[in-house]
Amino acid sequence: MPTPLADLIAERGVLLADGATGTNFFDMGLQSGDAPELWNEDEPEKVKALHRSFVEAGADIILTNTFGGNRNRLKLHNGQDRVHELNLAAAKLAREVANEADKKVLVAGSVGPTGELFVPLGELTHEDAVFSFREQMEGLKAGGADVIWIETMSAEEEIRAAAEAAQATGMEYVFTASFDTAGRTMMGITPSRLGNIAESLSPPPVAVGANCGVGATDLLYSVLDMTGEGPTSDKGSIAVVAKANCGVPQIKGGDVVYSGTPELMARYAELAVDSGAKIIGGCCGTSADHLAAMRVALDHHKKGQRPALEALVEGTGALVNEISTASTEPKPAGGGRRGGRRR
* Residues in the annotated binding site for Zn(2+): 212, 283-284
Q: Give CA–CA dist 46/53, Å, rounded.
A: 11
C-alpha–C-alpha distance, residues 150 and 162, integer Å: 7
- What is the rounded CA–CA span in Å between residue 92 and residue 56? 18
How far, in Å, CA of 60 to CA of 99, rounded?
Answer: 12
Output DSSP code: residue 95: H
Q: What is the rounded distance in angstroms from the CA atom of residue 293 to the CA atom of residue 296?
A: 5
Sign of the four-CA dihedral 78, 83, 84, 88: positive
Residues marked as binding?
212, 283-284
Alpha helices in the chain (DSSP H): 4-12, 22-27, 39-42, 44-57, 71-74, 83-100, 126-143, 156-169, 191-199, 216-227, 262-274, 288-300, 309-316
**Distance of alpha carbon 263 from alpha carbon 170, whole angstroms:** 39
> Measured between alpha carbons, how far is 300 from 315 in angstroms, rounded to an integer?
17
Say if CB 141 and CB 109 are below 8 A apart.
yes
Tell me, letter by letter, the H, E, C secondary structure of 107-126: EEEEECCCCCCECCCCCECH
Helices (H) and strands (E) in the chain, counts: 13, 10
